[in-house]
Amino acid sequence: MIEVLGQVPYQPTYAAMQDFTAARSAETPDRLWICEHPPVFTLGLAGRAEHLLATGDVAVVATNRGGQVTYHGPGQVVAYPLLDLKRRGYFVKEYVYRLEESVIRTLLAFGITGHRVAGAPGIYVRLEDPRSHAVLEQRPKKVEASVSQEDPSVEGPQAKPSQSARPDFTGLGKIAALGIKVSRHCTYHGVALNVAMDLSPFSRIDPCGYPSLQTVDLSTIGVSVSWQEAADVLGQKLVTYLSP
């Protein structure tokens, strides 16, 4: 199921995901592609140009995933589950929850506590104490709240949350971003975990559409781990938590 692609250009990989999904049948085995990309900014269906602050010589690619703008680059583990949700027996909200849980369990393997934030898909860590197990006040109060009708990281054009509805990122840094597409019950795009990156390109955008949202990686919070080790752990956690 797991295919480690290494470092591959973003656009051909995106096209390959689309082709695989369009050609698959009810009998096509699911796949999990794990890779990293050369520097690229990607825009989701809800993406707005004003969130691209100073892209410079880094390419910007418009995509059909949910969400706003994010950055991919070396030192980031990107996982693309190509799954038939109907065959697996769960729906999009649970799929997103399982993706996030896989990242949380991956971080836990390295001694870090990951958190969900209400209204903001992805995984976050406490900046002052990334290893703290204390319950986060900003957490979703129900499992069902992890993906709302205005969730910008699921497929389809979504309404931009109002400024008053901005999630509370106080004391937090984002360590993993999530954006998906579901077509005929089949998933592509996925999740990106920051391991040991040049984080400066994130300052050239509003990450996920949120000005001043701080982005971190494992390296900046004190975890020294290779890309391959992080990829291996994330891949195994995804296989476990995405199982039917």
- Residue pair 222/125 in contact (Cβ under 8 Å)? The answer is no
Task: State the residue range of the domain holding 19.
Answer: 2-241
Active-site residue list: 208
pLDDT, tens digit, 9 for 90 and up, residues 63-74: 999 999 999 999
pTM over 0.85: yes
* DSSP for 183-226, written as a single string: ETTEEEEEEEEESS---GGGGGB-GGG-TT--B--TGGGT----
Q: What domain count does the chain have?
A: 1
What pLDDT score does 154 carry?
55
Mean pLDDT (whole number) for 25-43: 97
**Closest to 114 measured CA to CA, from 160, 73, 165, 175:** 175
Confidence of residue 166 (pLDDT cuts 50, 70, 90): confident
Place of tokens 């390959």: 16
Task: Name the least confident of 21-30, 114-123, 134-143.
Answer: 134-143
Between 122 and 155, the more confident residue is: 122
Mean pLDDT (whole number) for 69-84: 98
146: domain CATH number is 3.30.930.10
**E strand or H helix at 138:** none
